[in-house]
A and B are shown apart, each in its own frame.
Chain A
Amino acid sequence: MITEIRDKVAEQLEKLDGIVALRSTEDGAAPYLFQQGDNLEELVMNPRYPLSKTASKLQKRFKDAKLGVVARGCDVRALVEMAKRNQIDPDRLVVIGVTCTSEEAEFCFCAEPAPNLDQWSGSTLIGEPVPGAPPNPIVAEYAQIPYAERWAFWKAQFTKCHKCFGCRDICPVCFCEACALEDPLWVEPGLLAPDFPMYHLIKAQHMTTRCVGCRQCEMACPADIPLTVLYDLVRQDVAELIGYVPGADINEMPPFTLTLADAAIESDLVY
């Protein structure tokens, strides 16, 4: 499959200014902007990095460039959410979608391992789509755990927190320049572990309509906190309560966005 991806990238590079993908060299693997003439043998698919953020950075910096990105399912979902929030210009981005294997999907409890490229013009999908993996079993069991136990569990987990902001910095859909987590009004600065539950509740609340389930936060966490358990629960709620699935439809506005067109009284908005 990797040769297929490299061939596709080579083909697309004829038309595009550059393609964001992972490059592995003797120093390690990291995101890179491939351009014509680069050694495509260095292009790899692992490990994972927030490529949507890289693409956003590059699009903002090079305002006329037409770029491509080699993206997995979660990367494409992140690109969709970033595009909705004006961090990505979809017209200037071509996606080379790559499906994950079923093992990878299982590892991530990923419900949608194949990228959905319907809304990305000029994009191609490489690999056979595999069915979604079952969700994290803890999420289903969570309803049975009493509140006091939940509190004790998260308190123990978050006492380990180093306040590295890594979960935010690695998140492919976090981009605000002024972050609520750095606002002394909400999170008292300079404390270790950061104030529980403020820091982590705010982070979780901010993930509600954004989290695309890529699990990079959990992997970047130096304290091994199972963050995605919390975020999965939140994602489930968003789908059930307001029928919004982050990353699904590029034309659907994020649910907390208010426009005057939305002013008509909706009969289902009854609490």
Chain B
Amino acid sequence: MDYKNIQTICPYCGCGCALNLEVIDGEIVGVLPANDHPVSQGSLCIKGWNAHAFVGHEDRLKKPLIRKNGQLEEVSWNEALKLVAKNLGSIQKKHGADSIGVLTSAKCTNEENYLLQKFARAVIGTNNVDHCARL
């Protein structure tokens, strides 16, 4: 028996409203606004109030997928990562680093964006890094 609220930031638009995710026994059951936040001040829009709705959706990807015979099939992390590493490596060797492009994400955290662009620049060796800010 465990009930707590975790304050976090809304995943939708760029306002950066804070919201509380209501968690009972490791399951998100709802959203409460955050009263002491300087921007949202205890209010949310309809997207914020429903920010948790997609998290537990049945469509969520739960295992890595690899295309085999034209179909995406569930595989282990190990197999998926090995394949990605192998193919990225061989393409980089064969066609040069600039034949690889990397899209970072406006939906991921700063840390993840940093890490991915570091990966692109320091490991692959290309500045082909962009994200959907233009879109």
Contacts and interface: CB of A to CB of B under 8 A. Distances in A.
Interface of A: 17-18, 20, 23, 27-33, 35, 47-49, 54, 57-58, 61-62, 65, 162-166, 169-170, 219-222
A33 B48 contact: no
A28 B1 contact: no
A32 B24 CA distance: 10
A29 B35 CA distance: 8
Given A29-B35, A164-B44, 7 more contacts: A23-B4, A27-B7, A28-B18, A57-B22, A61-B24, A165-B46, A169-B31
A31 B5 contact: yes
B36 A29 contact: yes
Interface in B1-46: 1-7, 18, 20, 22, 24, 29-37, 42-46
B24 A47 contact: no
Interface string B91-135: 000000000000000000000000000000000000000000000
Nearest to A34: B3
A49 B2 contact: no
B5 A169 contact: no
B3 A164 contact: no
7 contacts: A20-B3, A23-B4, A33-B3, A35-B1, A58-B1, A164-B46, A220-B43
B1 A62 contact: yes
A162 B45 contact: yes
Contacts of A62: 1
B46 A28 contact: no
A47 B35 contact: yes
Contacts of B46: 162-165
A61 B49 CA distance: 21
B4 A32 contact: yes
Contacts of B22: 31, 54, 57
A221 B33 CA distance: 11
Contacts, number: 83
Contacts of A48: 35
B33 A28 contact: no
B43 A221 contact: yes
Interface of B: 1-7, 18, 20, 22, 24, 29-37, 42-46, 48-49
Contacts of A17: 1
Contact of B7 (A28, A33, A54, A61): A28
B26 to A, nearest CB: 12
Contacts of B20: 28, 30
Instruction: Give the one of A23, A32, A165, A222 with max B CB within 10 A.
Output: A222
Given A33-B4, A222-B43, A28 B34 contact: yes
Nearest to B36: A28
Nearest to B24: A61
A49 B4 CA distance: 13
Nearest to B46: A164
Nearest to B33: A220
A156 B86 CA distance: 62
Contacts of B42: 47, 219-220
A18 B36 contact: no
Nearest to B6: A27
Contact of B3 (A28, A54, A170): A54
B18 A31 contact: no
Nearest to A65: B1
Contact of A57 (B6, B24, B35, B36): B24
A221 B40 CA distance: 10
A166 B3 contact: no
